[in-house]
Amino acid sequence: MPEVIITSRDNFDHSLKKFNKMVQQSGILAEARRRAHFEPPSVIRKKKAAAKRRKTMKNAQRG
**CA–CA dist 31, 26 (Å, integer):** 9
Q: Residue 49: its pLDDT value, please? A: 97
Residue 1 domain flag? no
Q: Is there a domain that residue 41 lies in?
A: yes
pLDDT for residue 52: 97
Of 46, 32, 51, 10, the residue nearest 59 (C-alpha): 51
Residues (pLDDT < 70) of the chain are none
Q: Which domain holds residue 21?
A: 12-62
- Which pLDDT tens digit goes with each residue over 31-41? 999 899 999 99
How many folded domains does the chain comprise?
1
